[in-house]
């Protein structure tokens, strides 16, 4: 069954940046990319980078932040009233 996730996910408002990567700390282990259900991470030249449109696709689970045991990922939620909306959560 082929499901395109962005077609079954709704986002509202201007979230601002809410995930930051410290590229000095990042060792490119790829765990963030492995667990991201929305597939928003790329590993380029041994560093994790977020896709440009992540704020429109992020499901706000914070798995990337939680799995990064060297603490290279900073996660705060989108500003109030913006971001992913679960209509049938």
Residues that bind another protein (CB under 8 A): 1, 3, 5, 8-10, 12, 34-39, 59-63, 65-67, 69, 75-81, 83-89
Q: Which is nearer to another protein, 24 or 69 (CB)?
A: 69
Minimum gap (Å) between residue 62 Cβ and another protein: 5
Report DSSP state, residue 65. H
Closest CA to 22 of 64, 82, 77, 83: 64
Q: Which is nearer to another protein, 35 or 49 (CB)?
A: 35
Minimum gap (Å) between residue 84 Cβ and another protein: 7
Minimum gap (Å) between residue 28 Cβ and another protein: 17
Work out the burial of residue 51: count CB atoms within 10 Å of its CB; fewer than 13 is exposed, 13-18 middle, 19 or more buried.
middle
Nearest 5°: CA angle at 88, between 37 and 18? Answer: 45
């Amino acid at each position: 069954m082929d499901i395109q996730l962005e077609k079954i996910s709704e986002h509202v408002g201007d979230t601002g940046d809410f995930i930051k990567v410290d590229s000095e700390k990042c060792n490119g282990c790829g765990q963030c990319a492995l667990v991201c259900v929305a597939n928003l991470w790329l590993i380029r030249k041994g560093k994790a980078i977020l896709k440009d449109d992540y704020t429109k696709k992020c499901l706000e689970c914070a798995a990337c932040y939680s799995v990064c045991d060297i603490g290279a990922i900073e996660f705060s939620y989108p500003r109030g009233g913006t971001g992913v909306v679960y209509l049938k959560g």
